[in-house]
Amino acid sequence: MFQDIPESVDIEYDPAPAEQGDRMLCYDGRSVLVRIEDNKAVLPKLCELDSDCKKVFVFRADGIRYFLCLEKASAKGFGFEPLNTVRYVAADTDQYAVVTGYHYYCFHAESRFCSVCGERLEHDPYKRCMVCTGCENEVYPKIAPAVILGIIDEETDSILLTRYAGREYKKYALVAGFIEMGESAEAAAEREAMEETGLKIKDIEFFADQPWGFAQNLLIGFFAKVTGSREIKMDTSELAEAVWVKREDVPAQPGGISLTSEMMWAFKSSQR
C-alpha cells in the first residue's frame, strides 16, 4: 500500500521554517506539481520553485521535510498532473507525500473562517490546526473513518465485488462505507453489508488499515463470512454492480497502493 514506504515517517508537527532542500507540495484542485520520472512522482524542492510561497509543515521522512504550499506555485521542469496520474506510479515517499499533503490541502481549502463566530482562521504556529483570530476556536484536520469489507462465501470459495454508482473510479471494489456516530467499526461493517447488498455477515476479522488522503479518510479493512442467504439485494443508489467472484477469477495483482487492491490480492493469493 502507498503508506508502506522504507523511510520512517515522523508526522509530529515541526514549526521550524522550510529550508531550500525541503520538498514542496503544491496543488491546484485535484492536480499536483510534479515531474513523472522513471514511473515515479518527483516533487520540487523549495529552491526549485519560481518564487517563494506561504507554506506549512506536513511531515518528515528520514530527515527530509515536506511542506504544503498555500499559494499557486510553479517550477521549471515540473507540471500540474492529476492525482489519478500520480496514483498509478510506483509507490515511494514522494507519492505518499502527495496523498497525505492532499488531505492537508483540502483541510486548508475548507478552513478559512470560524464556524462559531465567522472570523478568519490562521494556522497555529506550533501545532497542526487552525485558530480563530476572533474567539480562539481551534479547528483540526477532519479524518473520516470508513470500513472496507471483504465478504467471503466459503461454500463457493467466492468474494463479493462491487462497482460504485456515479463515481470516477470504475474498477471493481469491495463493500465500503462510513462509520456513523456511536458505532464501532465492526457494527458499521455489519450495517454496510446489509444496506448495500442485503447480506448478513459473521466472523468479522480485522485485516489492515490505511490513511487515505485522496478523500480525507482512515480506511479500516475487515474480512467476514456471509451467513444465511447468498442472494444479493443491491442498493442501486450506492452500487452499479455487486457480484460473487470465484477466488481464481478475482482481478487483482500484488503491490497495489490501495487497501481494496491489497485485500482483493490477499483473497486471490489464498492469504484469506
Residue 135 in contact with Zn ion, rule: CB under 5 A: yes
**Least distance to Zn ion from the beta carbon of 117, Å?**
3
Which class for 118: exposed (0-12), middle (13-18), buried (19 or more C-beta within 10 A)? exposed
Measure the CA–CA gap between 269 and 250, rounded to whole angstroms.
Answer: 10
Selected binder of Zn ion within 137, 177, 208, 272 (CB under 5 A): 137
Q: Shortest gap between Cβ of 138 and Zn ion (angstroms)?
A: 10
Give yes or no for residue 90 binding Zn ion (CB under 5 A). Answer: no
Q: Which of 1, 34, 86, 132 binds Zn ion (CB under 5 A)?
A: 132
Give yes or no for residue 145 binding Zn ion (CB under 5 A): no
- CB under 5 A: which stretch of 11-19, 27-35, 116-124, 216-224 binds Zn ion? 116-124
* Distance of closest approach, residue 44 Cβ to Zn ion, in angstroms: 35
- Between the CA of residue 223 and those of 113, 180, 188, what are the distances in Å? 41, 19, 13
Q: Based on CB atoms, which residue is closest to Zn ion, 37 or 110?
A: 110
Cell of 77: 521542469
Instruction: Report the nearest approach of Zn ion to the CB of residue 131 (Å).
Output: 9
Contact by Cβ (8 Å): 83, 214: yes
Of 25, 183, 3, 202, residue with least CA distance to 101: 25
Give yes or no for residue 134 binding Zn ion (CB under 5 A).
yes
Helices (H) and strands (E) in the chain, counts: 4, 17
Part in contact with Zn ion (CB under 5 A); list of ranges 110-118, 163-171, 206-214, 263-271? 110-118
State the residue for C-alpha cell 458499521. Answer: 188
# residues near Zn ion by CB under 5 A: 8
Stretch of 96-104, 118-126, 139-147, 167-175 contacting Zn ion, by CB under 5 A: 118-126
The smaller minimum CB distance to Zn ion, of residues 119 and 124, is found at 119
Count of alpha carbons within 13 angstroms of residue 123, beta-carbon side = 21
* Number of CB atoms found within 10 A of residue 199's CB: 23
**Minimal distance in Å, beta carbon 70 to Zn ion?**
20
Q: Is 130 in the site for Zn ion (CB under 5 A)?
A: no
Residue 206 · residue 222 · CB < 8 Å: yes
Does residue 47 bind Zn ion (CB under 5 A)? no
Q: Count of CB atoms within 10 A of residue 83's CB?
A: 17
